[in-house]
Amino acid sequence: MNNEPFSVSSHTIRQFFSDISSTYDWINVLMTGGLDSYWRKRAARLAITSRVSKGSAEQKTSRRNSEKWLDICAGTGQMTLSLARRARADTIIVAMDFCSPMIRLLNTTSGKCSIHRCLGDVGIMPFPDDCFDLVTIAFATRNLHTNREKLLHCFGEVKRVLKPGGRFMNLETSQPSSSLVRKLFHGFIGMTVHFLGMAVSGSSSPYQYLASSIQTFYPPAELSNLLVEAGFKNVSFFPMTGGSVAAHLAWKR
């Protein structure tokens, strides 16, 4: 399939999300029938309770010490809050986004752990090497995909800020393996995302872009290969809802 992204600049994407920040969460609920919350909860559970094979034995992620987690492209913080609800009290979560109107909407007092907002770009993250135990991204990888090289660079930045043994959870729309389901999925996206988004938010261009980015994004196996190319190990993926969404789990070894 054609994986060429909708041709827009990072500046334009930032403006898109600034324009729709106040209605973004409601439109996601309407378009997914509330499934977006389920997808985030499942991805958070996989990220926090994940296992990686070492030789013939599976080792569960150690939580003996406090951990630092980073949610990139956090937007209004829905994935951040999904993580916070499962976090221990001594966990520190940083929610980073490059769109100030979006990240300002995050409620940092939710949950029992410490949540901090950060305004920043995934391409040049303001963190030292080997800093975080877990990095997550939810429904925003498509926005990093202005081209293949940019996406690989961003994955490299994620790997840089992860500690050795840290894990990366990538939750994103995907491409169903069944050609029939894929056609139905693309038809649904084409008919609903642009028009529903425009009707509720009053903005046309952001949802035209979002619809196109969903239809052209990578199938799960191809995205797994990109993560391996970026230097991650033990990459696995978990399709959800007929393959329309996939959670990819990758490790820095």
Q: Tell me what percent of the residues of the chain surpass a pLDDT of 90.
A: 67
Helix axes 179-201, 10-20, angle to 10 degrees: 60
CATH 3.40.50.150 fits 10-50+65-251, yes or no: yes
Residue among 61, 12, 70, 58 at smallest CA distance from 203: 12
Question: Per-residue confidence at 56, pLDDT binned at 50, 70, 90?
Answer: very low
Asked if 127 contacts 161 with a C-beta cutoff of 8 angstroms, the reply is yes
Res 202 pLDDT > 80 = no
Question: Per-residue confidence at 146, pLDDT binned at 50, 70, 90?
Answer: confident
Overall average pLDDT of the 216-234 stretch? 97
The residue ranges of every structural domain in the chain are: 10-50+65-251
Overall average pLDDT of the 149-173 stretch? 97
C-alpha distances in angstroms, 99 versus 15, 23, 106, 122, 123?
Answer: 8, 15, 12, 12, 14
Res 101 pLDDT > 80 = yes
Backbone angles phi, psi at 119, to 5 degrees: -90, 115
Structure tokens at 152: 């690989």
pLDDT tens, 13-26? 888 888 888 888 98
Determine the 3-state secondary structure of 33 from DSSP: coil
Overall average pLDDT of the 61-86 stretch? 88
C-alpha distances in angstroms, 55 versus 3, 50, 155, 157, 176?
Answer: 35, 16, 26, 28, 32
Residue 244 DSSP code? T
Dihedral sign from CA coordinates of 136, 142, 148, 154: negative
Question: Per-residue confidence at 59, pLDDT binned at 50, 70, 90?
Answer: very low
Res 52 pLDDT > 70 = no
Asked if 135 contacts 43 with a C-beta cutoff of 8 angstroms, the reply is no
Instruction: Mean pLDDT check: name the lowest of 55-59, 151-155, 190-194, 198-202.
Output: 55-59
Mark 121-149 as b/e (b = at least 16 C-beta within 10 Å): bbeebebeeebbbbbbbbbbbbbbbbeee
Overall average pLDDT of the 134-154 stretch? 94
pLDDT tens, 163-201? 999 999 999 999 999 999 999 999 999 888 877 777 766
The mean predicted confidence, pLDDT, of the chain is 89
pLDDT at 16: 83
C-alpha distances in angstroms, 138 versus 42, 54, 129, 161?
Answer: 11, 27, 22, 18
